[in-house]
Amino acid sequence: MTGEEKIKEDVLLIKNAFKEMRNKTERFSKDREFIMSNPQLFTFLYNIPATLSIASDGIVDETEIAIIEKLARSIDVNKTVSLNLAEIMSIAGEPDECMTNEEFNLRIGSELLFISRNMQKYERDFIEGVKALLKFDKNPEKDGSLTSTLEKLMNFVIEHNAGKNKEKELQKVKEYKKRVGIN
């Protein structure tokens, strides 16, 4: 494959992945008036596995709310997406009137809590959205890869969160990982 063919293939991968991620998050974005830029969408889906783990028992308790609050304080689009990656993401078109990164950073915690409490409505969409996100992972088996990072996030949340029916929660998280393509 020539260098030019490789570039065309990469551009197509980026455009298709973002098209699929937008398609899968469209219902949520419209319901919540949460119009995201490409870097925001990447950051958003990057954190969705935590909400899958939190929602695994169908109840959002005080410990889980604390986890979401802590996670939300650490989310920053500019820290998650480097300038180089943002430039690459600009290949894919973006919707008009995206929120600012500051607004995104302020709202992300409440949106993650909303998703955790309403996972039944959005579960399938977000699983497919995260699967599309993982298309960016060229070496999923490698430690430090996007896939391994998302798996560690899910494991961390469930280890610090499992409730009364730990086995059921662990089984549900294992199911989510399989559906997303982690493991």
What dihedral do alpha carbons 146, 150, 152, 155 form, nearest 10°? -160
Q: How far apart are CA 163 and CA 178, in angstroms?
A: 22
- Helix extents (H) in the chain: 3-32, 38-54, 62-74, 77-80, 83-89, 101-117, 119-133, 146-159, 166-180
Could you tell me the pLDDT band of residue 11, with boundaries at 50, 70 and 90? confident
Global pTM exceeds 0.85:
yes
Neighbours of 88 (CB within 10 A): 16
Q: What is the pLDDT of residues 53-96, one digit of tens each?
A: 999 888 898 988 999 999 999 999 988 888 778 888 888 889 99
Residue 15's identity, in one-letter code, is K
What pLDDT, on the 0 to 100 scale, is given for residue 164?
67
Nearest one of 43, 46, 41, 51 to 18, comparing CA atoms: 41
Tokens of 156: 């961390």
Q: Is 20 exposed, middle or buried (0-12, 13-18, 19+ CB in 10 A)?
A: middle
Is the sign of the CA dihedral 122, 124, 126, 127 positive or negative? positive
Q: What is the pLDDT of residues 31-60, one digit of tens each?
A: 999 999 999 999 999 999 999 999 988 889
Could you tell me the pLDDT band of residue 179, with boundaries at 50, 70 and 90? very high
Q: What is the pLDDT of residues 140-173, one digit of tens each?
A: 889 889 999 999 999 888 887 766 677 888 888 8
What pLDDT, on the 0 to 100 scale, is given for residue 85?
81
What pLDDT, on the 0 to 100 scale, is given for residue 19?
95
Residue with tokens 């992300």: 108
Tokens of 82: 């480097």
